[in-house]
Amino acid sequence: MEKFLNDKSVREAIGVGDIEFVSCSPTVYQAMLVDWMRNLEVGIPGLLEDGVKLLVYAGEYDLICNWLGNSRWVHAMEWSGQKDFVASPEIPFEVDGSEAGVLKTNGPLSFLKVHDSGHMVPMDQPKAALEMLRRWMEGSLSEVPAGSGKLVAEM
């Protein structure tokens, strides 16, 4: 990843000039220490109330930000759509005809547990991560892709 992102043509394409990519930058780490162990969930309900779409995802084998802890705070978060979100069904998240995760979505809130992945979902499951982001940005995260032989999930 570092070799690719530090390739001159890639740096030019993404417009970062001569800035070198470092996967675990001590500069970024130091700058973010002020947010360490700070509860940022308190601001999320207001965003959901304003209709801002939120996707929370976690790899099922993530030991740093485990999926169960993430699922529990998402389910416990108080906002006007909480009861409907909690009551909504979990549906398979399919990529290339195979289940790549389990999705729960209602209104502006979605939670996705990504199978066979740890903390770095895009590194562990690049196809699933790309499909997750593509569908979420298109507003079609809960839809089963055409050609899978299954009905489109309506949320």
Range of the domain at 25: 1-38
Is 83 part of a structural domain of the chain? Answer: yes
Q: Quick one: pLDDT at residue 8?
A: 93
**Per-residue model confidence (pLDDT) at position 155:** 35
At residue 82, the pLDDT reads 96
Q: Are residues 11 and 52 in the same domain?
A: no
- Whether the predicted pLDDT of 154 surpasses 60: no
Are 11 and 50 found together in one domain?
A: no
pLDDT score for 24? 82
Q: What is the spatial distance between Cα 71 and Cα 67, in angstroms, rounded to a whole number?
A: 6
Q: How far apart are CA 8 and CA 95, in angstroms?
A: 32
CATH of residue 111's domain is 3.40.50.12670
pTM: 0.79
pLDDT digits (tens, 9 = 90+) for 121-139: 999 999 999 999 999 999 9
Verify that 25 and 91 share a domain, yes or no. no
User: Is the residue at 93 inside a domain?
Assistant: yes
* pLDDT tens figures, 21-67: 988 888 888 988 888 777 878 899 999 999 999 999 999 999 989 99
In this model, does residue 153 exceed pLDDT 70? no
108 and 128 in a single domain? The answer is: yes
